[in-house]
Amino acid sequence: MGFKDKLQKYYADNYMKKYGDRITQAYGTVLSVKVEEKKYLWIFNVLKATIILKPDGSKNVVRSVYKAKRWFKKPDFIAVNQGNVILLQALKGKKGADNSDVLEIKNIRNVTTRRDLFKIDAPMPKRQVQYKRK
């Protein structure tokens, strides 16, 4: 195991120790997307995307937020439209906090357009088709 692998394993272990009980995924259809971009003094760029998702096989909805801040350049974000099927990889809110039901997005995998916010080596999930019983 090289130095790079040891360092990567160290960061992964510490991340799991800190956030392990809060990591979650949500797979479903996008109901609403709202993307806000702001610039402060032509230097600091802030991107906030709010996505409301209806998970497959569930009646409830999931509200999630992606926040990115960057100096000098605009933060990157993929095209997510209403009706797209996506897989959110996120953290649940802290218990007792005012936004404990809102997911904090870490990555988005758009199954419809086959794009990722951050590239992952894992294969893209297949779109699940549900048939209605008569």
Output the pLDDT for position 127: 63
CA atoms of 115 and 79, how far apart (whole Å) = 9
Residue tagged 């990567």 (tokens) = 8
Output the pLDDT for position 99: 76
Q: Is the CATH number 2.40.50 carried by domain 24-116?
A: yes
**Contacts for 127 with CB less than 8 Å, ≥ 6 apart:** 85, 111, 112
Output the pLDDT for position 46: 95
Neighbouring-strand partners of residue 69: 46
Output the pLDDT for position 42: 86
Q: Which tokens hold the place of 36?
A: 């806000």
CA atoms of 131 and 26, how far apart (whole Å) = 21
Output the pLDDT for position 94: 78
Output the pLDDT for position 128: 63
User: Could you tell me if 116 and 74 are in contact, meaning their C-beta atoms sit under 8 angstroms apart?
Assistant: no
In order along its 134 residues, the chain shows pLDDT tens digits of 788 888 888 888 887 887 777 788 888 999 999 999 999 988 999 999 999 999 988 889 989 999 999 999 988 888 899 988 998 888 887 777 777 788 888 888 888 888 778 777 666 666 666 666 66
Q: Read off the pTM.
A: 0.76
Domain map (residue ranges) of the chain: 24-116
Centre a 10 Å sphere on the Cβ of residue 87 and count the other Cβ atoms it contains: 17
Centre a 10 Å sphere on the Cβ of residue 54 and count the other Cβ atoms it contains: 16
Q: Which tokens hold the place of 2?
A: 């090289």
CA atoms of 55 and 53, how far apart (whole Å) = 6
